[in-house]
Structure 1
Amino acid sequence: MSTLSWIILSGLLGGLLSILLAALLTLKARSSWLSILVSYAIGALLGAAFLNTLPEALELSDDPKQITMIVLLGIFIFFILEKLVLWRHCHMEDCEAHDLGHHHPIYKLEGDQGRSGLMITLGDTFHNFVDGVLIAAAFMVDTQLGIVTAIAIIAHEIPQEAGDFIILLNSGYSRTQALLLNLLSSAATLVGGVLAYFMLNLLNGLVVPMLAIATACMIYVAMSDLIPSLHKRPELTATTQQVILISFGIGSIWLIESLLKHSH
């Protein structure tokens, strides 16, 4: 299968799987399920960042310090974008919508609810487009790396999409409308992947920096967005569960990488 085919398949399957699973979790309204997915997503993101994208970027680069500088700059830029309300859906000073994406099962918006739902959809569309670019960059380096990156991105998309779904429902949208909006938003992953494929083919020099940016993205989302939500459950039982699930997320990335290497 060609690289473009892998990118298209990952964009389609990734979007559909994350949306359908998120809708299923939302309709069940089981907050404990979302908490489990968040813990696993943290492990998957950190595993993909430190076991795959960063080592690959360092291997392809003639200047390792340049890669680490890009990662550092990427983390800083994502922080600024989040502050500017262009990253991770936040559009209020109190980012309750953002917190919802982690594990809160019910949320009521105040004020202009329809606009709130639309803002979240627009933010998610931008985020999905970036995810598509990151997936394409990884596949253009190596199919194995692309698969692992796609799995990690899908893993952290599920709890996020579940949060979006609930916010849309509470913004006055019907279940069908909320599902359709999220499906349209997820199409941005495919668009971003296909556009990046043709752009990166013309500008191969972007591949390594994009891998470094992918690393920064995964680290930032895991450390800034997801991990703080776990601290809301400091009891020993919850902490033990979180540690096990984070380890499982890291281990699953390592296992997939090992299996794919042996299959070559």
Structure 2
Amino acid sequence: MTLLQWILVFTLLGGVLSVLAAGLFLLLPEKTRSRLLPHAVSFAIGALLGAALLGLLPHALEGVQDGNYHGITATVLFGLFGFFVLEKLVLWRHCHHEDCEIHLPDLHDHDVHHAAAGTLILIGDGLHNFIDGILIGAAFLTDIHLGVVTALAVAAHEIPQEVGDFAILLHSGFSTSRAFLFNMLSSLTTIVGGVLAYYSLSTLQPLLPYVLAVAASSFIYVAVADLIPGLHKRAEFSATIKQMLLIGSGVGLIYLAHSTLH
């Protein structure tokens, strides 16, 4: 195979394999899935924060070539603000040009906020997968064996995060088929990143840290602004302990994946 063919095959595997493995969650009976979903959301919070603060941001800071660390943190800040505005646009779109506070009952308003969270997580995940594709492409340009190992590592460390993404999409009102379809489409940006790396890695290199910072800001925003407030609706001590343990588990799995595979 040519080098480009190697990159195409393994970016496809690196992105799609993790989604297929995480998609096993969708095969559970609906009653079981509904019972597990609130716990999966807690896990997703930990996975998102872990991916952003232990994976994406450190890589972004390491990749800065001119020592402009303030530029990375400023990108995260503006990213958070940008996703706030984007969520507002999603909410306004659901209002159908009427006053939401008047015509939307509390339950509908709650569902619309969850729908916005699903939209934002797909955007952030698409950016993250795009970066993974660039990393795989760059590894293949260095050595074919390194490329294969990198693609397998990407698939392995993405699985816990993809489980969290499925939980968020289901929590946002997506059907199982739509959650799988959109997550699969998001994973295909891995191929785009790999192809771009093959043709223009030297041009893209200075921009990668800032793309990583934007992806990190989307994960932080969804976890903190959209998901954590929902946990406070169950204030009993036992529920809080479970939430803390599951968030810690999400962070821990991401930490282990990054520390052992990178």
The two structures have a TM-score, normalised by structure 1, of 0.71
1:9 aligns with 2:13: yes
Q: 1:71 aligns with which of 73, 76, 82?
A: 76
The more displaced of 207-216 and 190-199 is 190-199
Q: Distance in 1 between matches of 2:117 and 2:15?
A: 18
Q: Distance in 2 between matches of 1:64 and 1:72?
A: 13
Matches within 5 A, 1:78-89: 78-85=83-90
Which structure: greater helix fraction? Answer: 2
**1:52 matched to which residue of 2?**
55
**2:212 matched to which residue of 1?**
211
Q: 1:146 to 1:207 in 2, by over 3 A?
A: farther
Q: 1:95 aligns with which of 109, 120, 128?
A: 109
**1:134 matched to which residue of 2?**
128
Report the number of matched residues. 227
Gap regions ≥5 residues in structure 1: 102-119, 169-177
Report the secondary structure of 2:184's partner residue: helix
Q: Distance in 2 between matches of 1:246 and 1:4?
A: 35
Report the secondary structure of 1:232's partner residue: coil
Q: Are the counterparts in 1 of residues 48 and 223 from structure 2 also a CA contact under 8 Å?
A: yes
Gap regions ≥5 residues in structure 2: 101-107, 137-149
RMSD: 3.3
Q: Considering Cα pairs closer than 8 Å and 6+ residues apart, tell me whether 1 or 2 has the greater RCO.
A: 2
1:191 aligns with 2:194: no
Q: Are the counterparts in 1 of residues 16 and 188 from structure 2 also a CA contact under 8 Å?
A: no
Q: Are the counterparts in 2 of residues 18 and 161 from structure 1 also a CA contact under 8 Å?
A: no
1:39 aligns with 2:39: no
Q: Distance in 2 between matches of 1:150 and 1:30?
A: 21
Q: Distance in 2 between matches of 1:126 and 1:48?
A: 15
Q: CA deviation at 1:129?
A: 5.9
Q: Distance in 1 between matches of 2:255 and 2:121?
A: 26
The two structures have a TM-score, normalised by structure 2, of 0.72
Instruction: Flag the structure with larger Rg.
Output: 2
Q: Are the counterparts in 2 of residues 129 and 191 from structure 1 also a CA contact under 8 Å?
A: no
1:220 aligns with 2:230: no
Q: CA deviation at 1:5?
A: 4.1
Q: 1:155 aligns with which of 123, 145, 163?
A: 163
Report the secondary structure of 1:234's partner residue: coil
